[in-house]
Amino acid sequence: MESLGDGNHTAVTEFILLGLTEDPTLQIFLFTVILCIYVVTISGNLSTIILIRISAQLHHPMYFFLSHLALADMGYSSSVTPNMLVNFLVERNTISYLGCAIQLGSAVFFGTVECFLLAAMAYDRFVAICNPLLYSIKMSTQVCAQLFSVAYVGGFLNASSFMISFFSLFFCGPNLVNHFFCDFAPLVKLSCSDISIPAVVPSFSAGSIIVVTVFVIAVSYVYILITILKMRSTEGRYKAFSTCTSHLTAVTLFYGTITFIYVMPKSSYSTDQNKIVSVFYMVVIPMLNPLIYSLRNNEIKGALKRELGRKIFS
């Protein structure tokens, strides 16, 4: 353990990530699977961004939000996956003190941006279904820019609260992090300084964001459901609801796993279960989002066919 002397204390300058497993055979298997997932994540989300940028039919607020969601997914996965893959190949995976802070901050930033974007997309669906005549006004370029600003500023502020709290902790003893990335909770357990304030501030910040975004999503869908039920046409109901299914699926997957990690009592699940769920929402979900939106959205499938047809016959 590399360290720096500081009076009667020894400050930790690096951490050792214990990863998912110590079984060599399982490590090889997980490396192969997660590498494939990561390749699909980057290619799928990058393709989504490019398709939305080059296809004029997709130049609508809903798809601009989707392109930023794809960008957040790439950042979210990239903040932990490359380091996790290295962890499978080396005997001891070390990460510097500063590197740990950067990994924590980037994961929180992109995760927070995703929360805000999912809420903004729910609001977009609410306006489109409940106030279609005012859609162009309520979802103007200026409004979209404001929503994007809220998402990225919110992500920056939440990430800052985690990083400031991390830097306020003092590590003078064990440096073994029982996780595959620098998650805040296992880091707090290693601290030998007072954790009362550093532990509460990030929890309050992250908790507030989750509550606010879930509230916006819930209220939006309550009004959407009421509007759909008032429709006389069965075809109209189906068409309106079908525009929400992809988003609802993404919201359920993302917030379902976040609830398991951050809301359920810690005594109800083990550290290993925490790791598995973390892999799902930080590695698997970023891969699933472009598949969910492409397979269940006729406009994206149509745009993809048109662009592929142009490339083939050009």
Distance between CA 67 and CA 53 in Å, rounded? 8
pLDDT of residue 5: 45
Exposed/middle/buried for residue 100 (C-beta within 10 Å: 0-12, 13-18, 19+) = buried
Q: Pairing between strand 176-177 and 93-96?
A: unpaired
| Average pLDDT score over the chain | 87
Distance between CA 257 and CA 219 in Å, rounded? 21
Q: Pairing between strand 176-177 and 14-17?
A: parallel
Distance between CA 36 and CA 248 in Å, rounded? 26
Q: Select from 252, 280, 232, 314 the least CA-distant residue to 33.
A: 280
pLDDT in tens, 27-40: 999 999 999 999 99
**120-151 b/e with 16+ CB inside 10 Å = b?**
bbbbbbbbbbbeeeebeeebeeebbeebbeeb
pLDDT in tens, 117-140: 999 999 999 999 999 999 999 999
pLDDT of residue 175: 87
Quick check: helix, strand or coil at residue 8?
Answer: coil
Backbone φ/ψ region at 274: left (φ over 0), alpha (ψ -120 to 50), beta: alpha
Distance between CA 261 and CA 278 in Å, rounded? 8
Distance between CA 43 and CA 306 in Å, rounded? 19
Distance between CA 204 and CA 63 in Å, rounded? 31
Sole residue written with tokens 């398709």: 51
Do residues 251 and 114 make contact, with C-beta atoms less than 8 angstroms apart? no
pLDDT in tens, 144-184: 999 999 999 999 999 999 999 999 988 887 888 988 999 88
Strand segments (E) across the chain? 3-6, 9-12, 14-17, 93-96, 176-177
What residues does 94 pair with on adjacent strands? 16
pLDDT of residue 8: 45
Residue type, 168: S
Q: Select from 131, 112, 122 the least CA-distant residue to 218.
A: 122
% pLDDT > 70, the chain:
90
pLDDT in tens, 180-238: 999 888 898 888 888 888 888 988 999 899 999 999 999 999 999 999 988 888 887 88
